Structure 1
Amino acid sequence: MIKNFFKKAISITLCIVMILSLVGYSNYPKKSVLKFRPDGTFKIIQFTDLHLSPKSDSKTIELMNSILDSEKPDLVILTGDNVDGRYCNSSQAVKCISDISKPIESRKIHWAVTLGNHDTEHDGIERAEMMRLYSNYKYNVGKVGDYNILIKKSNGIGAAFNLYMIDSGSYNLGGYGYIKQEQVSWYLKTALKLKILYHKLPSIMFFHIPLQEYKNVSKTLNIIGECNENECVQSANTGMFHALVKMNDVKGVFVGHDHNNDYISKLNGIILGYGRCTGYDAYSKNNYERGARVFLLNEKNPSEFKTWIKIYKNIR
């Protein structure tokens, strides 16, 4: 009986080792520290298009401080054009990143970043190097390139939710950047690995430049929020949305880039949405108030998350 017990134990251990080898466990996020609160909730703030540069005043940072204090999130996501590289040299860009980090790091909130088209436009910093700069901060849970972030169950055992962070590039084909075919392949492989480990793991995907499918949803009447400008979408369609439908794990895609849009809609069962432009030095229509998007996840029903826009009322 004891021999049989040890045989079963060895067999189970070998299976686990094989699975971890198959899924490339070492490629998972380096700081797996996020988990649902004891009450089963998890809150995310999406800041987008901060457009920080040496000419920026303090209003954008004031907004971040105010919203972080009022919402008290578990995680902050920055979805690109965090630094406006058109107006920075490399040392100035590093200073802007430091300024961005302070409201989050000082509150000991975990955070993650993806880049936009302006982050490295003229500041002399490569995209991989900029991502390394962000990942060096204590509470940053990101990594270089495309990556995913697991959110553990409230008891700390196993994962209950997943976030994909994708780099949608800068400029290509005479237009804006786009998600490359190899990135779609990375997503498909990662989603399959997560299914092997966790069976069903609902996810949200974040990047900067909208998919071409955003133009389809905005032409319908089924949108919630503001649509004040034509979508400036990716210059090529390499099938990411088709891959999302196929894998059926991503429940929502959220971007930035178009400063006057903050709507959400749904296509083939997947929410396509925008954050709310955060930076005061980003273009916008007159009197367009800045803010952030808030997400509230529920461990008991993680596929059905709540989301809303938080507007910052600037008193100046």
Structure 2
Amino acid sequence: MAANKLFVILATAYGALGAATPGEPTIADLNPYPAKPRISFKSNNTFKLTVFSDLHFGENPWEDWGPAHDKSSVALMARILADEKPDFAVINGDLVTGENTFRENVTLLLDQIAGPFNAAKQPFAVTFGNHDNEPNITHAEEIAHLQKVSPFTYVRAAPDGVGGDSGPANYWVPIYKKQSDKAPVLILWFFDSRGGFHLKPNSTVGVPDWVDASVGDWIQSETIKMEAAWGPADSRAAVAFVHIPPHAIQALQSSVSSDKNPGMNADTLGNGSVQDSASVGNDSPFWDSLVANVPNLHALVSGHDHGNEWCAREPNKKIIFCFDKHSGYGGYDSEGWGHGVRNFLFGTPDPKAGVETWIRLEEGTTKARVTLDSSYDPRN
């Protein structure tokens, strides 16, 4: 980053340039959700995160099986929320299959998705996928509607100029040890990998399928503000979510083993299954900035590839990557894959302590349990 640009960021962070942008939190109280309850660890110092992915509501609404799949997905969400009782939940992209829905009633699908969270009074955040940008719906419209119909969602849009073409859902959620604490101990980051098609009838104009380069600068500026408000970045942990896996993850698949990297490995990574499918390097500003500016990053988590469940460490940046579990009955599937979620359990607020993660299937079976810590899958 140019020196004069960095100076402006630092000056803004420390208040030298006056008031913050309207709608943005001030450095004195860097809380983007002043009207919502603070999310915190339990009194026993644990924190559970449950991640749904690839719900794909709205497929083939003109046939019986489409609405039936949505009904099954609602039942799955309600059951898992009741069983797991997470402290926070995430939907990691492809809420709807936008190309199959009708524009005049697509928001009714979002009402159905929000329903189980509202009924359980479950706080949740969202990333959006390539199927959420289609001629019948956009990421921006989904953000606005979810904010309207659910008081429990923490989804929000990035400031103007961050996210590029059709990628507004870049934001973070602070997690506190105690609700009364000034500084959080964990940051959940959410990034918009875009993809899909532009909002126009019969559109064939594709949206870029990677996190825009502007997000790299935004990550740096946000972390500078966090340090100004809360102290050294090393005193906080992080988990990041993005729907389409970064391009660097493709190289991991050939060395995934069932012992070190348990979980299904049924989807071959390649064009369209990772970010930057057009040309290698477009997602590098985001990828490089995330690693450089966010210490104690326990995992970067993606969906998109319904047949993969494994976690592995990327050898160059040393970041652990995890696939979600395909949750919805919509979207492509195969016999025996099943539907479920990925759980993360923090056993302590210590930002350097390992985090346990596993796949939970709808009926309650668990598998692919590993602990993400400094010794996990070193890949030297």
TM-score normalized by structure 2? 0.73
Distance in 2 between the 1:240 and 1:121 partners?
Answer: 24
Change over 3 Å in CA distance of 1:160–1:46 after alignment to 2: same
CA deviation after TM superposition for structure 1 residue 312, in Å: 1.1
Q: SS of the residue aligned with 2:186?
A: strand
In the alignment, what sits opposite 2:144? 132
> What does 1:149-298 align with in structure 2 at a 5 Å threshold?
149-154=173-178, 156-157=180-181, 158-171=183-196, 177-198=209-230, 199=232, 200-221=235-256, 222-231=260-269, 232-235=273-276, 236-249=282-295, 250-267=297-314, 268-298=317-347
Q: SS of the residue aligned with 2:131?
A: coil
8 A contact 2:340–2:359 mirrored in 1: yes
Q: How many residues align?
A: 299
In the alignment, what sits opposite 2:83? 70
The answer to which of 102-111 and 280-289 deviates more is 280-289
The answer to which of 21-30 and 297-306 deviates more is 21-30
Alignment of 1:106 with 2:141, yes or no, is no
8 A contact 1:264–1:272 mirrored in 2: yes
CA deviation after TM superposition for structure 1 residue 233, in Å: 0.5
Identical-pair percentage: 24
Change over 3 Å in CA distance of 1:32–1:180 after alignment to 2: farther
Which of these residues, 31, 44, 58, is aligned with residue 39 of structure 1? 44
Q: SS of the residue aligned with 2:132?
A: coil
CA deviation after TM superposition for structure 1 residue 99, in Å: 0.4
Q: SS of the residue aligned with 2:255?
A: coil
Change over 3 Å in CA distance of 1:25–1:32 after alignment to 2: farther
The answer to which of 25-34 and 274-283 deviates more is 25-34
8 A contact 1:251–1:271 mirrored in 2: yes
CA deviation after TM superposition for structure 1 residue 175, in Å: 8.6
Distance in 2 between the 1:16 and 1:238 partners?
Answer: 29
Spell out, residue by residue over 1:233-292, the C-alpha distance to the aligned partner (whole angstroms, 9 max, x if none). 012333322223322422210011000011111123321111100111211222211000
CA deviation after TM superposition for structure 1 residue 90, in Å: 2.5
Spell out, residue by residue over 1:204-234, the C-alpha distance to the aligned partner (whole angstroms, 9 max, x if none). 1111111011112222245332211112101
Spell out, residue by residue over 1:154-186, the C-alpha distance to the aligned partner (whole angstroms, 9 max, x if none). 252021100111111014897961011001111
Q: SS of the residue aligned with 1:261?
A: coil
Alignment of 1:308 with 2:358, yes or no, is yes
The answer to which of 189-198 and 49-58 deviates more is 189-198
CA deviation after TM superposition for structure 1 residue 301, in Å: 2.3
8 A contact 2:223–2:294 mirrored in 1: no
Change over 3 Å in CA distance of 1:177–1:86 after alignment to 2: same
Distance in 2 between the 1:167 and 1:85 partners?
Answer: 16
Gaps of 5+ in 2: 1-12, 158-167, 198-204, 277-281, 365-380
8 A contact 2:25–2:31 mirrored in 1: yes
8 A contact 1:48–1:80 mirrored in 2: yes
Gaps of 5+ in 1: 1-14
In the alignment, what sits opposite 1:7? none
Alignment of 1:29 with 2:67, yes or no, is no
Distance in 2 between the 1:214 and 1:86 partners?
Answer: 27
Spell out, residue by residue over 1:119-149, the C-alpha distance to the aligned partner (whole angstroms, 9 max, x if none). 13131x3321221111222111111231100
Distance in 2 between the 1:126 and 1:52 partners?
Answer: 14
TM-score normalized by structure 1? 0.86
Change over 3 Å in CA distance of 1:152–1:71 after alignment to 2: same
The answer to which of 214-223 and 149-158 deviates more is 214-223
Q: SS of the residue aligned with 1:203?
A: strand
Distance in 2 between the 1:87 and 1:96 partners?
Answer: 12
Q: Relative to total residues, which structure has the larger helix share, 1 or 2?
A: 1
